[in-house]
Amino acid sequence: MRFSGKVALVTGAGSGIGQAIAVRLASEGAVVVGSDINGVGLEETAEMMGEDAAFYPQVSDVRSRDACYELVESTVADRGRLDVLCNVAGVARGHRVGDVDQEVWDLIMGVNVEGVFWMSQAALPHLESSNGSIVNIASNAGLMGQAYTVPYCASKGAVVLMTKAMAMETMKTGMRINAIAPGGVETNLAAAFGFPENPDMELMGRYMGMRGMAQAEDIASLVAYVASDDAHRIHGSVLSIDGGMTAG
């Protein structure tokens, strides 16, 4: 019960990693506000919770600065405080560079970059007051170049350096900001990724991973540790959980 008496806000809580994180934090005593653009997914998350879990779904689009501020402010107003922010909402698409259009670029950057920034900006004053924690979901794609995923790599690389830069700016406070960088995870996002027709498998082989894909619950376990007081010395870190994919 590491999160007993604490309030956690998890974006992307309607599926995949965000759903697993919401369930895990609630199982350890957190009051969890879960947001997603997909209301049906949030209902599924609520059904996965135990009877004693405190889970409050909120349909919201992290691409909107106003929506992010409204989500944070309503969480604090309704639940009394904010201790943990998990920026999980994300989208991924596979394209050759020449096939990326404005709509795809804006979608990936809007969710993966702007969403993380606006949510963090809105939450920072409350987390400084509670000596709380931000955990951003980055990716191995933010640490290494990957063919056919240039916008996604760019977005997750931005998450990595946003994490480090915000950690430096909050160094004199009691709060912590970290990122988790998974490799492949068996989620709907991964299943729907979609590579371009006839990809060069030699280009892709280096980042396919020799130990298979993780489960969303594997990522949730690490997030629960990093967000907890057990990890009080971890600040400004980007922790890989990729089966050794980025080891060499």
- State which H helix or E strand residue 227 sits in: helix 216-227
- What pLDDT, on the 0 to 100 scale, is given for residue 19? 98
Active-site residues, by number, are 152
pLDDT above 90: residue 203: no
Angle value at C-alpha 72, between 123 and 237, nearest 5 degrees: 35
- Which residue, among 246, 222, 242, 243, has the nearest Cα to 234 in the 3D structure? 222
**37-88 pLDDT, tens per residue?**
999 999 999 999 988 899 999 999 999 999 999 999 999 999 999 999 999 9
Alpha-carbon distances of 160 from 91, 142, 177, 183, 219, rounded to whole Å = 16, 7, 11, 14, 17
Residue 247 is predicted with a pLDDT of 87
> Model's pTM, two decimal places?
0.94
pLDDT value at residue 51: 83
Q: Is 192 exposed, middle or buried (0-12, 13-18, 19+ CB in 10 A)?
A: exposed
- 189 pLDDT tier (thresholds 50, 70, 90): confident
Task: Say yes or no to pLDDT of 235 above 70.
Answer: yes
